[in-house]
Amino acid sequence: MADMLTVSDKIEEEITYIPGIESINTRDLMPYLKEAEMDTIPPKIVMESFQQVKKADFILHNTIYELEPAILQALNEYRPNYAIGPISFSQNLAKSNPIRSHTFWPDSDCTEWLGSKPPGSVLYVSFGSLVEVSEEVIQEVAHGILLSGVNFIWAVRGGMKDALPNGFEDKMKDKGLIVPWCDQIQVLSNPCIGGFLTHCGWNSIQESIWCQVPMICYPLSYDQPPNRRLVVDVLKIGVNLSDEVSMNRACISENVRKLMSASASDGLRMEVRKVRDILRNAIEKGGSSDINFDRFIEHLKAKLHAMD
């Protein structure tokens, strides 16, 4: 691991020497690149993956070339890289078929509740299915949402519900709905959804873009911090949940209200719409992802033929 970039988790600085990235703050790196994390099991697995990928003949990326051209061009200096995303649901999108989630949890039917709310008035909240969220964060987010006064639907999985403040469900009354899980893209595509409070998982970001829903971001781990940077700082289709180092319910409330306000939401939706058009064009026949997939197949065939 001696050749891997590691930084102190106590110092924030701008890094300007990574090929394909003009500048990135250390706070936006994967947590597993922080020195304090390096001796734990997950970063060792990640670092081993980094080493193994160096042996690959080709690398496929679940992204769209137009969203990250400089990075992909830099990677192509080392070996062939193909952006063929979004691979999780592109076939359904291209065919305009209904999209169903594939999870271990049953979907919750929230159609009737969503249908009772005005267009663009509901905040959808989900922190994904993998990373645990601390009780402190859950409580501050809950208090912040209540203070904001906006309508919301919150997918609260498993034990996370126990972390909600006492009496939270009584206080939210008809302004909020708590569900154990839901078909995320069906919720995001509902006209009443005006914003998405997300952990910045990559699939969630792509689904939010497709449904033209601006995001309010709270990255937790893995690739989520650099994903936040792409959403907020590069594409400008979202905002940060909190501007403070520690979670603050007053700041959360203010940022939620800003996101859901007509002035901010309209501007963000305009930008999301532009990015959504890029995504749609990429997966259509002759689009960048379609072309890249065909190029990969041709190069793979040539590689296999050369091995015979």
- Residue 98 within a domain: no
Residue 97 lies in a domain: no
Domain count for the chain: 2
My answer on whether 268 and 143 are in the same domain is yes
According to DSSP, the β-strands at 122-126 and 193-198 are parallel
In a domain, 3, yes or no: no
Length of the chain: 308
State the pTM of this model. Answer: 0.88
Same-domain pairing of 262 and 123: yes
Given a cut of 70, the residues of the chain with pLDDT beneath it are 1-11, 34-38, 89-109, 244-245
Torsion of CA 49, 290, 272, 227, to 10 degrees: 10
For strands 24-25 and 59-61, give the pairing: unpaired
**Structural domain that includes position 24:** 14-88+282-307
- The reply to whether 259 and 134 lie within a common domain is yes
- Domain annotation covers residue 79: yes
149 and 256: one domain? yes
Give the integer Cα–Cα distance in Å for 233 and 209.
Answer: 15
CATH number at residue 292: 3.40.50.2000
The answer as to whether 271 is a domain residue is yes
Specify the pLDDT at position 246: 73
**Same domain? 79 vs 139:** no
If asked whether residues 28 and 133 sit together in one domain, one would say no
pLDDT reported for residue 7: 52
52 located within any domain: yes
- What's the whole-number average pLDDT of the chain? 87
Distances (CA, A) of 115 to 177, 190, 193, 240, 270: 12, 8, 10, 28, 24
Classify residue 2: in a domain, yes or no: no
Looking at the structure, tell me whether residues 207 and 69 fall in a common domain: no
Residues 250, 121: one domain? yes
Indicate whether 198 and 246 sit together in one domain. yes
Whether residues 155 and 264 share a domain: the answer is yes
**Within this chain, do residues 273 and 250 fall inside the same structural domain, yes or no?**
yes
Tokens 């995320």, located at residue: 184
Q: What is the pLDDT of residues 21-69, one digit of tens each?
A: 999 998 898 877 766 656 777 778 888 888 999 999 999 999 999 999 9
For residue 8, being part of any structural domain is answered with no
Verify that 82 and 145 share a domain, yes or no.
no
